Each structure stands twice: as C-alpha cells, then as structure tokens.
Amino acid sequence: MSYRKRVASLMMVDSIIVLTAIFISNFLLIPQSSPFTMMMVVSAVTLLIGHHYFANRYKLYHKVWQYASISELMGIFKAVTFSLVLTGAVQLLFFQAISLRTLAITWMMHILFIGGSRFSWRLYRDHYIQPRKNQKNTLIIGAGAAGTMVARQLQQSHESDMQAVAFIDDDLTKQHLELLDLPVVGGVEAIVATVEKLNIEHIIIAIPSLSKQELNVIFKECSKTKAKTKILPRIEDIMSGKVSVNQFRDVEVEDLLGREPVELDINGIEQYIKGKTILVTGAGGSIGSEICRQIAMFAPKELVMLGHGENSIYSIEMELKRTAPDLTISTEIADVQDREKMFSIMFNRQPHVVFHAAAHKHVPLMERNPEEAVKNNVIGTRNVAEASSEAKVNTFVMVSTDKAVNPTSVMGATKRIAEMVVQHMDMISETRFVAVRFGNVLGSRGSVIPLFKQQIQNGGPLTVTHPEMVRYFMTIPEASRLVLQAGALAEGGEVFVLDMGEPVKIVDLARNLIKLSGYTEEEIPIVFSGMRPGEKMFEELLGEDEVHNEQVYPKIYRGKTPEVNINVTYELVERFEGLSREELREQLLDIANFRVRELALKAVK
C-alpha cells in the first residue's frame, strides 16, 4: 500500500508540474491571450499523457530519489523530451502549426521543475559504469546512505571482485523501487530466496545503525545460505580515511553479542584521571592492557604498568609508546604476592588511582591448584589494597567476576573473598575501595573464543561442556571502560555490576564461529564433553541479598553486599599452607558463601 501511495503522490505532483509549465510558458509569451484555447487544452492533455507514459517507461516512479544520480537525471531528460516531441507532433497533426517557442520554454521549465522536485538536495556527477566481467554477484543489505555508498563504490572500483546486483531493506517505501539501477527486492525475509534466485556469492551488511539484536536476526538469515557474509567497516574509520568503504570485514562474534555498548560519562572519568598518576596491576593481561589503552585516552600525568610477566608488559609498553607518544609511561616488573615490593612501589609512585586487575582466572586450573588462587587472588589483593591505603591512594578499583556470586569454584571463591578484603579496607581506610563485576570477556586469554578458533584451525571438533550452558558476555574494551566508569562513580564499598542483557548459550557461540569461519557443522562438528569441576550451568551477577534495583548510571547497578567477618578470612590466609587441597577448597567455599558466618561471630564473642 505504501508503494502505491508513493507512486500516486509522484504522479499527482508531476501532473501539477506539467500543467503549470505549459500554461506559464504560454502566459509568458502571450500574456493577453486566453490560456484555455483549444490548442492549449489539447497540448496540455497530450503533454500530461505523454509525460506519464514516458515517466513510467523510464521508471521515474520507481527510483529512490534521495540518492538519485546522473542515470536518474537522464531518465527525466528523456521522458520530458519525448513527451514534448509527442505534443509538437499532435499540434502539427491537428492544428497544422507548432508553437515552437511555447514548447521550448515548456521543455526548459518541465526539466527544471521535475528535476528540482527529485534533486532538491543533491546532484551526482556519476555516469553509466560499464559492468565488469568475472565478478561475484553481491547482495547489499541496507538501501540507505551506507548501502548506496557501498553500491557506488563497487560500481566505480575496477579492482573489486564483487558486483552489486540487488538491495535488501525492511523499509516498505523502498521495496520494489530501484536505487542506482539496482532493485530493492524485499526485506530480511527475502534474503534466502534472493541469494538462490540471483546466484549471490557475497552478502554485505551496510547498516551502521544496526543494533546487536537486529544484526543477529540478519545474520541468522544469511547463515541459511552459502554466501559469504561481510559487514561494512565502522563509519568513523571510513570518514577518517583509515579504511575505504570497499574494505569490508568479516562478521565477528563480537558483532553478534546481543547487547548494546554502554555509553560512558567521559567527563566524569576524565576528572579523576587527567593529570593524575594511575597504576594498573596485571597490566600485561587482556583486561589490564586494555585498561591501560583506555586510560591513555584521558591524558594522565603518568601511567604505571605493573605486571609479573616481562614480555606482556614490554608488549603493551611498546604499543602505547607508538599510539600515545606524549604519555609518560613507567613499568614495574613485580608480583602482587611480594608484599614488601607492593608497599615500596606505592610509596615511590604515589598513584592517585589504582586499578587492580592482577588475578588467576582459569577455573579448572585453580580447582587443581587452590593454594595458588589464595596466594594471587586473596593475599595479592590484600597486599595491593593495604599498600594503597598506607600510601593514601584516592581510589582503588578491583576487577572482579560474576563467578564470585554464590561461588562453586575455587577461582570464584577467592575472588569473592578478595571482594571481602576490599570491602573491609573501605571501612577502615581513607581510600575509596570498590569492586567491579562482569561476565565472560570475549577474546581474553583463557576464554572460550580463542579455544574454539584453535579447534577450528585444527579441523574440529568444537568441545562444548553442556548444550544448555549459558554465560554473560562482553568485549574487552567494554569491560575496561566499565572499570574506568566505576572509579568515577565510586563512593566507597560498592560492587558495581553491568546490565549485560540476556545470557548467551555457549553452543550458539560455537555454531556462529563455525559459520563465520566458512564451515558447516558437518565439516566442524560440535561435541559435548561434560561440565568440568567448579563450573556452573549459568552465572549470576548479583546474589539475592545484593540487589539494588535502581541504576546508578545507565545500565550500571550498585550491589549491596552483606557484612563480612574479615577475621575468618585472615585466619585462613595464615594457615592455608597446612591444609590439604580438598580442605582448602571446602573452607574457601564456606567463607565465600557465608556458611561459617554464625560460627565466626560466636568465636569472636
């Protein structure tokens, strides 16, 4: 219906323009004569009928005019010219005379008015581009400005092996029309049929404003075909000249993450970082190094990167010296378990903010080595926290995990106990201590994505622990920005949590990766290996007794955690080396889940 209304509206506008043009032309030449002479009436009717016939012949009612080009202008020229030639022939046939001056002025006004109505804001200098051979038929999803830019680039490029043949767009006002002489064949539901009908080998998603959920829907339809799916580079990269519009990239798992990025309070973050000394522990890790990259954008006085692995620290140092040459960078090769070294660094560097990202995070490994989890995650956190307090650090932000909620693993238990240490320090120190929880980080070391990619390179299969296992996911930059935002929001003692949307099934991630890698499940099968020790079927971001319903910032919540008796934790730290691994594991889980709270309170009394 919208298509028919659009055609009817254009025909009505054109009718007014045609009649206005011929009668004004006659008035300008012979102002004293009547406009309704027999010759004028016949000429006007002939011109009107001729215009609609040739306009339909050259598809003037089937163009997306906001992106019109020279080809559309040529269509207008032909339709107007032939309709005027027809009118002149009728005048000669019925009246044995041709009003050449009237027809000439009418022709010019006709071109001006029709062209102006279609080209009100933009004229293109393109002309017909001859199609090239040996190109792969390409379907463009999105008949907007970005899709038009892609199609034009493909038409003009002599190096591209792709040839745009059609558009897909859910906008009903564009369907059944043509854009750059390419048909808009339908909405997303027409992808599969169009690929088969037009022998499509490539699909390009060209909608910069696409949400994650919408991209998932489109990709699901694309995955039903054998065509290779690519996506447009980011618009800011195109505009800055980093990449060309025809440098399409593969769809990544991060693109399909079913949640929109959180918009941050840039001014708030800048206020407590700019011109200050910032220290990051675990700076060579996936999260720590990204935190350093994000901090560099806010012009700190000095960035101190502390880490245990010399190679990873060297790598991020060289990167930042290249990308942020004006940034003052210092490095410290140290272990957070070295208490004396932590105090020495804090007093020498005098940081304003400390981001504590150093931790052991691998669940199965920590199940087998619980004493190492205690040393790094609990004792290491205590060392850095107490050193920060003594050195009068303004804000201490600890990176935590959703596995700290109702933990069933040693890793989760030690991270929850580390949160207890941080909360206790906030109660007795002038430093503001906070923790930040988030789910799994795509692409981080030890995450499932690098494992799946390696398994695909090895020819499969992909190992998934359970078909119903779900996790919350976020990207490394998002996780790091949340940590920075927490520091800006910190009042002391909070556990900040990001609204991570809906959890994602691990098996769905595996299937998407197989498709994105150009394989099918027949070529790269998925096998279920069973849940590993310490794993949960699903993760939580806040326990039932920790929930604050109100958001402290869009999509960021503040958890309220129950009071803790730190003496129980510190007692375990003093004697953990004398326990067996199983005893240590049990006591860690007891403390982390508050199962010894009443006993501890009685002992204190």
Give the residue ranges of the chain where pLDDT is below 50: 1, 121, 124-131, 239-242, 597-605
Q: Which residues of 383-405 are buried (b: 16+ CB within 10 A; e: fewer)?
A: bbbbbbbebebbbbbbbbbbbbb
Decide which of 118, 147, 182 is a domain's last residue.
118
Residue 156 and residue 300 in one domain: no
Residue 525 lies in a domain: no
Token pair 């008796």 is found at 565
Decide which of 84, 118, 152 is a domain's last residue.
118
Residue 247 and residue 272 in one domain: no
Is the separation of the CB atoms in 509 and 448 below 8 Å? Answer: yes
- Per the structure, the count of domains in the chain is 3
- CB atoms < 10 A from the CB of 204, how many? 24
Q: Kindly list the strands in the beta sheet with 202-205, ordered across the sheet, starting from the edge strand earlier in the chain.
A: 162-168, 136-141, 202-205, 228-231, 249-250
Token pair 């006591």 is found at 587
Write down the pLDDT at residue 129. 44
Q: Which residues contact 104 (CB under 8 A, 6 or more apart)?
A: none
Residue range(s) defining the domain that contains residue 222: 136-251
Residue 195 and residue 153 in one domain: yes
403 is known as an active-site residue:
yes
Q: What would the pLDDT profile of 90-120 be if each residue is shown by its tens digit?
A: 877 877 777 777 778 888 887 777 777 766 6
Residue 420 lies in a domain: yes
Q: Which tokens belong to 305?
A: 């990167």
Residue 360 and residue 220 in one domain: no
Q: Kindly list the strands in the beta sheet with 353-356, ordered across the sheet, starting from the edge strand earlier in the chain.
A: 329-333, 302-307, 277-281, 353-356, 395-399, 432-437, 495-498, 556-559, 551-553
Write down the pLDDT at residue 188. 92
Residue 273 and residue 240 in one domain: no
CATH code at 188? 3.40.50.720
Q: Which residues of 551-586 are buried (b: 16+ CB within 10 A; e: fewer)?
A: eebebbbbbebeebbbebbeebbeebeebeeeebbe
Decide which of 65, 83, 118 is a domain's last residue.
118
Q: Which of 230, 361, 375, 403 is catalytic?
A: 403
Residue 196 and residue 337 in one domain: no
Residue 10 and residue 90 in one domain: yes
3-state secondary structure 311-353: HHHHHHHHHHHHHCCCCCEEEEECCCCCHHHHHHHHHHHCCCE
Q: Which residues contact 17 (CB under 8 A, 6 or more apart)?
A: 110, 113, 114, 117
Residue 88 and residue 147 in one domain: no
Residue 224 and residue 80 in one domain: no
Cross-strand partners of 435: 398, 495
- CB atoms < 10 A from the CB of 84, how many? 24
Residue 504 lies in a domain: no
Is the separation of the CB atoms in 302 and 285 below 8 Å? Answer: no
Write down the pLDDT at residue 404. 79
